[in-house]
Amino acid sequence: MRKIRAIGVKELRQIVRDRARLVILIFVPALLLLLYGYALNFDIRDIRLAVKDQDRSTESRELISAFVNSGYFQLIAVVERDEAIVRLIDRNEVRAALVIPPRFGRDASTGRRTTVQVIINGDNANTATTVMAYALTLVSSMSARYEVQARLGSPAGPALVLEPRVWYNPELRSALFLVPGLIAYILMITAVVSTALSIVREKEMGTMEQVRMSPIGPLAYVVGKSVPYFVISLLSCIGIVLLAMALFGLPMRGSWAMLVLAISLFLVGTLALGLLISTLAETQQVAFQIALLMSYLPTLMLSGFIFPITSMPPFLQVVTYVVPARYFLVALRAIVLKGVGIEVFWPDLLALVVFAALTLSLASLRLKREWA
């Protein structure tokens, strides 16, 4: 116990002495939160729209105002010719164009099939998908109205009305969605990279050899080294949640105890992953690259942090099952945004336990071989 404490105290002193590491552990998370919270905005509003109305009927004007009044589209130009649309899109003056065919009004009001064309700039696939979804919703609700009108012979409301209610994040603010992801991301960086680098650094400096010559087992060494990072990462996460509550109005609907439990479970796994990497690498550079590949990239791309898992190709969706951050994110969002109880996300916590157990046993296996 005394030996473990000696290692922990030493590690903490090294972290405090090493300004760069301290900054990485404490200030970078806050910086990332601000950066992602303010700059990384996936909300799409005021899509610039051009309209080519070949009909100029009441119905066509209704369709156009439906687009504009939705709040998603902003009418920039009314054009006569297709070339104008091409030019506007090429110059990025509009992102989408609505083309209404001649006789649209008459066909629509008599229930005959007619087609409106929506042209979307696909250079940003994410935006394009969102724009397409908006346009589809608008057009289909209009279409439903005309269908009913044609059957009943008089203008009436649609038979089915879709009234969307967005729960937990009613304004669909990206920041709220991102904060849980950011916590996972920060934990991956601090826990995996810091642990891996701090151990490999000792290998490089030769201090590892000196410590191994002392009567201290690998377990005591690892525990002593991990505890400071565990505490710092945990505090850093709680700081992020508090900061997000203050700056972005993040609701903290669930219990703090549950939050700490989820974070701790995830942390044990990530620290063990860092440890595992440290046994695979001989230099800090190699350790950093492996850490990047094994933790940073999957967490960023495959955890559902930024890109929703359900919109990934099936192959990648399968891959996400081995990304621990995926489960952590589900649990975090459940706790922070929904405030639901453990009965909902226990399978995800269980997955984190499996992750922790797996990395811990792999790491200790490798470590024992290295120390023996």
Contacts with other proteins by CB under 8 A lie at 2-3, 5-7, 9-10, 13-14, 17-18, 205-207, 209-217, 372
Q: Which is nearer to other proteins, 87 or 201 (CB)?
A: 201
Contact 218, 260 (CB under 8 A): no
CB of 209 to other proteins, least distance (A): 6
Q: Which is nearer to other proteins, 154 or 214 (CB)?
A: 214
Say which residues have a Cβ less than 8 Å from residue 230's Cβ, sequence separation at least 6. Answer: 191, 264, 267, 268, 271
Q: Which is nearer to other proteins, 3 or 338 (CB)?
A: 3
Determine phi and psi for 255, rounding to 5 degrees: -90, 145
Residue type, 125: A
Q: Which is nearer to other proteins, 3 or 87 (CB)?
A: 3
Q: Which is nearer to other proteins, 215 or 308 (CB)?
A: 215
CB of 40 to other proteins, least distance (A): 36
CB of 254 to other proteins, least distance (A): 40
CB of 370 to other proteins, least distance (A): 11
Distance of CA 205 to the CA centre of its chain: 38
Look up tokens 């998370």; give the residue. 29
CB of 25 to other proteins, least distance (A): 16
Q: 10 Å Cβ neighbour count for 320?
A: 18
Contact 188, 295 (CB under 8 A): yes
Q: Which is nearer to other proteins, 2 or 113 (CB)?
A: 2
Angle between helices 194-205 and 284-291 (to 10 degrees): 160
Say how far apart CA 300 and CA 302 lie, in whole Å. 6
Handedness of CA 157, 60, 126, 39 (dihedral sign): negative
Q: Which is nearer to other proteins, 211 or 261 (CB)?
A: 211
Angle between helices 256-280 and 174-187 (to 10 degrees): 40
Q: Which is nearer to other proteins, 21 or 173 (CB)?
A: 21
Q: What SS3 class is residue 242? A: helix
Q: Which is nearer to other proteins, 18 or 62 (CB)?
A: 18
CB of 207 to other proteins, least distance (A): 5
Burial class (CB in 10 A: 0-12, 13-18, 19+), 178: buried
Overall residue count recorded for the chain in this entry:
372
Say how far apart CA 105 and CA 27 lie, in whole Å. 60
Q: Where are the beta strands (DSSP E) in the chain?
A: 47-53, 73-78, 96-100, 117-120
User: Which is nearest to 186 in space by CA: 299, 282, 108, 96?
Assistant: 299
CB of 223 to other proteins, least distance (A): 13
CB of 286 to other proteins, least distance (A): 20
CB of 18 to other proteins, least distance (A): 6
